[in-house]
Structure 1
Amino acid sequence: MARAAVLCVSLLLYLAFASGADAAKKKVGFYELKNKKGDFSIKITNWGAALVSVIVPDSKGNLGDVVLGYDTVAEYVNGSSYFGALVGRVANRVAKGRFVLDGKAYHLYINDGKNALHGGHRGFSKVIWTVKEYVPSGDSPYITLYYHSFDGEQGFPGDLDVYVTYELSNPYDLRIRMNATALNKATPVNLVNHAYWNLGGHASGDVLGHLIQVFASRYTPVDNVMIPTGEIAGVAGTPYDLRQLTPLGSRINLVSGGGAVGYDINYEVQGDGFRPVAYVRDPKSGRAFKLWADQPGVQLYTNNWMKDEKGKAGAVYQKHDALCLETQGFPDAVNHPNFPSVIVRPGGVYKHDMLLFKFSH
């Protein structure tokens, strides 16, 4: 049976057998958060804990949705682009879907050539999350979602309790807080929010005119199947040098990932703790954001493979119609001892905090 069909059947079976309070908490749908002024709102779905929409004003006060996505839950179930999803247990790639932890070899679900990608074919982006708390309005509207990942899921060791909270605050701040507790075995954890951003509006075409700055002087080069070589190289003198505000389209033809033109690379974010990661501005709309986070890396991806993807409100998305800034642990860190560790020990808690993104206009 095709993967999309399997996912649809899984969803229908769950909805058929769930009942009572549990069913109410796990009913798959959309949840809106809105600020008091009414000019800043987001929508979340508990299918994949995905960020569905972010509506903010432009420089003239016109409201627009600045993330790519779908109109219906069914499209998120069947989609393969990770629109807005909470990706895990380990985001990005793991070489050959294999790693050794405490002397034991683990084999993950292979879903990207010979490698594992974004947690496998049924990662956290393809499951139903439980709505734990939902405050849709007020000074700081928020929603908290929960997922229990079982020992052996997609090949990963140990039970894991995972939470994500989306919260709005004034004037136009969106915060995403993720945490995960390893219950009984050491396990790798690397969670990512996979939103596709277009500050001109989700249906406004390519983002090549966006200006971008990434606060990173080093990056992790990859081989021809997008696996890090283990080197942490300087960006100076390369097209990956985005330390100064740079038009995205000015260098995009000089870089490629896996055979497609565009950025798809992990940067080592400068500094430690909760700090600035990147700044993006769209000169046409006047919208901008600064991204803050507490992770060692950030993946810049410029939507290099998309073609004729049917999205919200009749939009048809193409390559380079958005950019992703995925704060994260380094890709394939489980196989590179020189990379920051992504291992969480039993009783330990993984934490990932993003201020996403201090929107301005």
Structure 2
Amino acid sequence: MARAPLLLALLCACAAAAGSANAAGRKMVGVYELKAGDFSVGVTNWGATITSVVLPDSKGDFADVVLGYDTIGGYVSGKSYFGALVGRVANRIANARFVLDGKAYHLFKNDGNNTLHGGHRGFSQVVWTVKEFVGGGDSPYITLYYHSFDGEQGFPGDLDVYVTYQLAAPYVLRVHMNATAVNKATPVNLAQHTYWNLGGQGSGDVLRNTVQLFASRYTPVGGGLIPTGAVAPVAGTPYDFLAPAAVGSRIRQVSGGKAGVYGYDTNYAVDGEPGALRKVAVVRDGASGRALELWANQPGVQFYTGNFLQDVKGKGGKVYQQYGALCLETQGFPDAVNHPNFPSQIVRPGQVYKHDMVFKFSF
């Protein structure tokens, strides 16, 4: 297999090394570069996190189009989940509690009275094992593994989790997640939490970006951004992005979940057959000419507009402010464990959860 440079970014020191596909068992925290021509993606095994996505714009100028930090320490202490893979259950679980097969499970509360993105030490806050890494060639990729133990953050059963990030030409990033329940039934809902600014990270807000969401329904929320259980049509509401519209066109009509805060933090029910790979969203930045097209196989997508970003010190001296990026997190519906009418997230022993995403970039 082809070799590629591997930069070991430890919390207190950095060293250079080399990696290849024969990297099973590696547990040091590092940053790994996948490169295909002039398209590159950085990944760290801290939280299975995407740290950078670099590509040209319509004028041939290059920029990193994802928010993040200069050091691993930033990701360890950060609160925004920049680029992370979140789980065991992404998004919110009401009252940090659910009942499965007649037994009540109590989770770690890290979002008021609720659980968010798996708890205070979810999958975004652990070291993953690098199982395979090929940094260059025709199809560079990295596969990361994490074993979640029975009772971690209150969730039942052992769970074996894998994610592969892979580049394909031209300018395609594929993400494949899978998880196997080993010995107990458990909810699983993984999400990739990258913050996108197609004008370049730290270049300003994304309110002029146009977004199209291939979703004619959404899940309204009540207090704490917990779904009410309804699945409502977007037609006639500020949540309607079936036709392309500017992010900021109706943003002041949408509560961000806290008094005085506006913006989208909304789960949409993606049109089409869940389980089938289908188009989810298209984002366009007029200034740079860059566009992102997202395909996935999950029933929902969380559209988040960086409502709570404020004075966050990011990469290269940039400071991120409100609406400085947007997230498109394909997922199961939030709080599905407490809403029997939502698509089930329960994985039983021997079953495999599969989540595929394809990001297609153009300029």
TM-score where L is the length of structure 1? 0.93
Structure 2: distance between partners of 1:41 and 1:347: 36
Deviations 1:8-31 (A, max 9, x none): xx999xxxxxxxx99970110100
Contact preservation (8 Å) 1:56, 1:64: yes
Deviation track 1:76-134 (CA, whole Å, cap 9, x = no partner) reads 11111100000000000000000000000000000000000000000000000000000
1:34 and 2:40 equivalent?
no
User: Displacement, 1:201?
Assistant: 0.2
Identify the residue that residue 238 of structure 1 maps to in structure 2: 237
What letter matches 1:278 in structure 2?
A
Q: How does 1:171-182 map to 2 (within 5 A)?
A: 171-182=170-181
The 5 A counterparts of 1:65-80 are 65-80=64-79
Letter in 2 for 1:156: F
Q: Give the CA deviation at 1:256.
A: 1.5
Alignment of 1:332-351 (within 5 A): 332-351=335-354
Divergent runs of 4+, >2 A: 21-24
- Residue 74 and residue 112 in structure 1: after superposition, are their counterparts in 2 closer, same or farther (change >3 A)? same
* Letter matched to residue 215 of structure 2: A
1:289 corresponds to which of 273, 287, 292: 292
In the alignment, the residues of structure 2 paired with residue 133 and residue 22 of structure 1 have an alpha-carbon distance, to the nearest angstrom, of 5
Does the Cα contact within 8 Å between 1:86 and 1:193 map onto a contact in 2?
A: yes
Measured after TM superposition, the shift of residue 289 of structure 1 is 1.1
Corresponding residue for residue 155 of structure 1 = 154
**Structure 1 residue 32: Cα displacement:** 0.2
Q: After superposition, where does 1:178-327 map in structure 2 within 5 Å?
A: 178-259=177-258, 260-272=261-273, 273-327=276-330
1:199 partner letter: L
Deviation at 1:342, TM superposition (A): 0.3
**What's the CA shift for 1:178?**
0.2
* Residues 29, 46 of structure 1: 8 Å contact kept: yes
Provide the C-alpha distance between the structure 1 equivalents of 2:78 and 2:249, rounded to a whole number of angstroms: 31
Q: Is the 8 A contact 1:289 1:358 kept in 2?
A: yes
Paired residue total: 341
Q: Tell me, what secondary structure is at the counterpart of 1:249? A: coil
Q: How far apart in 1 are the matches of 2:12 and 2:278?
A: 39
Note the aligned Cα RMSD (angstroms). 1.5
In structure 2, what residue type is equivalent to 1:26? K
- Structure 2, unmatched stretches of 5+, are 1-10, 14-21
Match of 1:15 in 2: none
**Percent identity over paired residues:** 70
Other-structure match for 1:6: none
1:331 alignment partner in structure 2:
334
Aligned partners of 1:48 and 1:128 also within 8 Å: yes
SS in 1 for 2:26: helix
Is the Cα contact below 8 Å between 1:257 and 1:265 reproduced in 2?
Answer: no
Structure 2 equivalent of residue 18 of structure 1: none
In structure 2, how many angstroms separate the alpha carbons of the residues matched to 1:352 and 1:336?
A: 21
Q: Are residues 1:97 and 2:96 paired? A: yes
Determine the C-alpha separation between the residues in 2 that align with 1:24 and 1:307: 38
State the Cα deviation string for residues 43-67 of structure 1 (Å, max 9, x = none): 0010000000000110011111000
Contact 1:224–1:257 (CA under 8 A) maintained in structure 2 = no
Shift in Å, 1:241:
0.3
Unpaired stretches in structure 1, ≥5 consecutive residues: 1-9, 13-20
CA distance in structure 1 between the partners assigned to 2:12 and 2:253 by the alignment: 42
CA distance in structure 2 between the partners assigned to 1:76 and 1:11 by the alignment? 14
The alpha-carbon deviation at position 34 of structure 1 amounts to: 0.2
Give the letter aligned to residue 262 of structure 1. G
Show the counterpart of 1:107.
Answer: 106
Give distance in 2, aligned partners of 1:112 and 1:137. 40
Contact residue 130 and residue 143 of structure 2 kept, 8 A: yes
Q: 2:360 aligns with which of 344, 358, 361?
A: 358
- Counterpart Cα distance in 2 of 1:130 and 1:282: 35
Shift of the alpha carbon at 1:257?
A: 2.5
Structure 1 residues 46-61: aligned runs within 5 Å: 46-61=45-60
Q: Give the structure 2 partner of residue 168 of structure 1.
A: 167
Amino acid corresponding to residue 31 of structure 1 in structure 2? Y
